[in-house]
Structure 1
């Protein structure tokens, strides 16, 4: 397997990340194409069916967000209806599988609905409802969590192998996923297959927690919410306190390393997409938003009216400079000697040479000899952001490394 970067080919426009040969090339609009691949990839763990995804895509007008929402809603309702019918007839396996797919299709729908649109909450609740119905049929059953945090609570799930103390992964998303998605793409299901428990959580500002309590917004000192999660995890008899790992994705490439610099009960940390300075990544995007003069593409609209709200900034372009100020405090530089637990970094080649170089430069300053940096490339079909489209390879790299480090 090659670990050297292949050439990166940009597919379509309006794309937050460049794409390579593993792109589906279904849409000319690159942001649509990237997200189609993201949801297609959940088929690995029964979170989608390829035929259902491509049939849905055939009804979408390229680049039209409302068309995207309506198409996925239609598919989600149909598949959920099949699940309900199967369950009523006593066909529990069929019901569980269909509810899992409906979970993804509802998420695909609400992704392009803006935060202030009342449909956002309605579709999100269908997304979680389908997953939790399926989770009641898991063996052992899924536990829905309300993790105590500063007088309020963080949302999450606990999946256990059995009732014995086992190594446990705490898994968090980045800026725009959900705990339900992380079950499929982030290692929840993969953990169980390998004898690990999985505690999937969403911190302040992240989708599930923020949808339930908009007063809980992002904070740079992520060790505070992580401490609450670790405190909770250690109350569970199935969690081995000496084998507790953190897995973090996307924006979690800043949040995870920041947290383990201070939370020393974590035995190992994995990040997909190390981000030493989010403000370095945002700088060009913020300037492009200002230059757009109100004619925003999908990713710009997302940042202005979805992501910024999760920092308590609800005025769109009027708050863009305040957002830039917020992100200036999100820095890993200066914490190199504090990130002492073993760290695995998976970096995707299609995120661009500059991002890869910044991540590797920071990684090389970290002290633990068990650290590992792994570039995933086009030849592997894993060059996309967070290895979208190749979950099997992603999880093999993650858990094989954990097996060795936590042995």
Structure 2
């Protein structure tokens, strides 16, 4: 197996004072905090989340799935009854919450589970039902890409050419989640359009075509997205920025190293070496492979049976060495002088000192004087991975910086979110 450094205390699922501490299982608690945090932009309701959590057995993934499905179905039914009665605002709000609750169930539903596709369709269906009631309505995208397509959404302020953020997630999540947590709703409030997309291997694209798997040369799918964006009359071609999350901290900087039509890039956080980021989990799985131990915990099952197929590996532990070798290709070293557009890095302290140092050391080698590195900590109530639980602060940091970079002075809202 290729050498992967043990991360020690560095763990993207670790959390400090801002986490809920509701579940003893750290993976459960992080994800509970993540979905609870979508309440900021109407993607959840606090009491509904805690009521659901009270029905979950700590660490039991089936219990997690069934509890969230129950809540999702109830809230979706409310939306459907509301729209039949002509109550559009109530229907939109309920569909948005149901979107999140179906995704919470989806997260621990493995790729081999026959319920997977149905839950995903419910997740996207609720969001698209809500999106029809946005003003203006959202547009569901099929972005041309090498004879196939990438999935996404376009949310616009109005019919005028506007600055636009292209937003993508990392190794999991969905476009629908990114609307809440990744800046889709936040962009609209600030007068930006948002084009949310899922590249090869990412959830929405992969669920529609399992042959479209992850690739290391991420500038290729981003080039397709920019080509598509430039066909939209509502997008100012001189003011296109890219925002990327989690593993997007590799994908975003990699893309702008080659795609020069992007005016600025933001990532939370910076991932110069993906193999370093995943080190502790890959070491544990390799040891289990060597001993023949198949007693996987839910985090390890997620890597083997949910995550690996998106990278083109379908045989679990048998393909594991090839999977790790692919991850080693996901590094930015050698591209420092090519990442020339302004770059904002919002790094979360709970990812650990080791990962923060890797990110900062790489960042310090980049040439643009407008670059900014912002470490969010417990004192910010934003120490968790991708600043989960404090979306307001994250988006303020991102868009205030972007306003300055693009020379914008606006504060208008359009009432979408």
| TM-score category of the 2 structures, normalised to the smaller one | over 0.9
Q: Which stretch of the first structure deviates more once superposed, 79-88 or 324-333?
A: 324-333
Report if the CA contact (8 A) 1:16-1:299 is conserved.
no
Q: Does the Cα contact within 8 Å between 1:187 and 1:395 map onto a contact in 2?
A: yes
Partner of residue 187, structure 1 = 183
**What's the counterpart of residue 208 of structure 1?**
204
Q: Is the 8 A contact 2:167 2:196 kept in 1?
A: yes
The separation in 1 between residues aligned to 2:340 and 2:114, in whole angstroms, is: 44
Q: Distance in 1 between matches of 2:31 and 2:206?
A: 22
Residue 111 of structure 1 corresponds to which residue in structure 2?
A: 107
Report SS of the residue matched to 1:83: helix
Distance 1:16 1:389 in 2: 14
Cα distance in 2 for partners of 1:47, 1:104 equals 6
Among 26, 29, 32, the alignment partner of 1:36 is 32
Give the secondary structure class of the aligned counterpart of 2:224: helix
Tell me the alpha carbon deviations over residues 112-154 of structure 1, each in whole angstroms, 9 at most, x when there is no partner: 0001112111100000000000000000000000000000000
Q: Aligned partners of 1:142, 1:348: CA distance in 2, in Å?
A: 31
Q: TM-score, normalised by structure 1?
A: 0.96
Whether 1:46 aligns to 2:42 is yes
Could you tell me how far apart the structure 1 residues matched to 2:39 and 2:134 are? 18
Counterpart in 1 of 2:248? Answer: 252
Structure 1 runs (4+) deviating above 4 angstroms are: none
Structure 1 equivalent of residue 225 of structure 2: 229
Where 1:261 maps in the other structure, the secondary structure is helix
2:374 aligns to what SS in structure 1? strand
| Shift in Å, 1:16 | 4.9
TM-score of the aligned structures, taking structure 2 as reference length: 0.94
Tell me, yes or no, if the aligned pair for 2:345 and 2:372 is still in contact at 8 Å: yes
Contact 2:363–2:373 (CA<8 Å) still a contact in 1? yes
Alpha-carbon offset, residue 284 of structure 1: 2.8
Superposition pairs of residues 138-157 of structure 1, within 5 angstroms: 138-157=134-153
Q: Which residue of 1 aligns with 2:385?
A: 385
Mapped to 1, the partners of 2:19 and 2:395 lie a distance apart of: 20
Aligned equivalent of 1:6: none
Return the alpha-carbon distance in structure 1 between the equivalents of residues 20 and 371 of structure 2: 33
Query: For residues 209 and 59 of structure 1, what CA distance do their matches in structure 2 show?
Result: 32
Q: CA–CA distance in 1 between the matches of 2:19 and 2:278?
A: 24
Partners in 2 of 1:79 and 1:302 — Cα distance? 27
**In the alignment, what sits opposite 2:158?**
162
Q: CA deviation at 1:290?
A: 2.3
Aligned pairs (5 A) from 1:8-407: 16-292=12-288, 293-407=293-407
Aligned to 2:4: none
SS of residue paired to 1:167: strand
What is the CA deviation profile of residues 331-356 of structure 1, one whole-angstrom value per residue up to 9, with x for unaligned ones? 10000000000000000000000000
Structure 1 position 281, deviation (Å):
2.0
Report which structure shows greater RCO (CA 8 Å, sep ≥6): 2
Question: Aligned with 2:389: secondary structure?
Answer: coil
- Aligned-partner Cα distance in 2 for 1:253–1:232: 22
Aligned-pair Cα RMSD in Å:
0.9
The number of aligned residues is 394
SS in 2 for 1:107: helix
Q: In 1, Cα distance between the equivalents of 2:281 and 2:80?
A: 44
Deviations, residues 312-369 of structure 1 (Å, cap 9, x unaligned) = 1011111110101111211100000000000000000000000000000000000000
Q: Contact 1:160 / 1:196 at 8 angstroms: preserved in 2?
A: yes
C-alpha distance in structure 1 between counterparts of 2:275 and 2:25, whole Å:
26
Asked whether the equivalents of residues 12 and 385 of structure 2 are also in contact (C-alpha less than 8 Å), the reply is no
CA distance in 1 between counterparts of 2:127 and 2:13 reads: 28
| Residues 161, 196 of structure 1: 8 Å contact kept | yes
SS in 1 for 2:258: coil
